């Protein structure tokens, strides 16, 4: 389910405007456009957003393809050391639940921590998702 790109933590208002001007107002569209190194370079030239920043945004969009994932959980996952869907599919749900609880203590990304069972569903869903992001040409 596509979300508005406003759901991506940390995107500045001018970045959102620049992306929307290119027709990239949803997470699905941004993910498609920024899924390859070449795509990120083209977007960077058109928006003045650093390609590494665009990769970070693409990874956030990719996380949002997982059923039950939301903006706060994406930030919390990243803080717990899981920055890509590719990484998520190899994680142990119990260990990840513990890491997420520890990460949430400081910044309070979410009010309610995901259960180990929910994290297990995320891991299983990540295993079934087709990979969308290419990291090298």
15 with 31, same domain: the answer is: yes
75 with 38, same domain: the answer is: no
Q: Residue 136 has what pLDDT?
A: 87
> What are the residues whose beta carbons fall under 8 Å from the beta carbon of 23, sequence distance 6 or more?
29
Tokens 């979410």 identify what position? 110
15 with 43, same domain: the answer is: yes
**Is the pLDDT confidence value at 1 over 80?**
no
Q: How far apart are the C-alpha atoms of 14 and 18, rounded to whole Å?
A: 6
53 with 97, same domain: the answer is: no
**Is the pLDDT confidence value at 137 over 80?**
no
Query: What is the DSSP track for 1-23?
Result: ---BGGGSTT--HHHHHHHHHTT
How is residue 49 written in tokens? Answer: 């957003």
> What are the residues whose beta carbons fall under 8 Å from the beta carbon of 98, sequence distance 6 or more?
none
Q: Average pLDDT for residues 56-78, to the nearest whole number?
A: 94
Domain boundary among 45, 63, 81: 63
For the stretch 54-72, what's the b/e string if a residue is b when 16 or more beta carbons lie within 10 angstroms of its beta carbon? Answer: bbbbbbbbbbbbbeebebb
Q: Indicate the number of domains in the chain.
A: 2
The answer to whether 27 touches 3, Cβ cutoff 8 Å, is yes
Confidence of residue 47 (pLDDT cuts 50, 70, 90): very high
77 with 98, same domain: the answer is: yes
Q: Residue 131 has what pLDDT?
A: 93
53 with 77, same domain: the answer is: no
Q: Average pLDDT for residues 4-15, to the nearest whole number?
A: 92
Residue 135 in domain: no
């Amino acid at each position: 389910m596509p979300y508005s790109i406003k759901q991506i933590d940390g995107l500045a208002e001018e970045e959102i405007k620049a992306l929307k001007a290119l027709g990239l107002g949803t997470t699905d569209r941004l993910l498609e456009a920024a899924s390859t190194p070449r795509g990120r370079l083209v977007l960077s030239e058109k928006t003045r957003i650093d390609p590494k920043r665009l990769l970070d945004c693409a990874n956030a969009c990719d996380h949002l393809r997982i059923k039950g994932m939301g903006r706060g959980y994406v930030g919390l996952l990243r803080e717990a050391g899981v920055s890509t869907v590719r990484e998520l599919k190899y994680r142990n749900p119990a260990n990840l639940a513990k890491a997420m609880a520890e990460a949430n203590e400081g910044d309070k990304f979410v009010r309610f921590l995901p259960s180990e069972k929910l994290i297990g569903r995320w891991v299983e869903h990540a295993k079934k998702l087709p990979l969308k992001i290419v990291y090298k040409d």
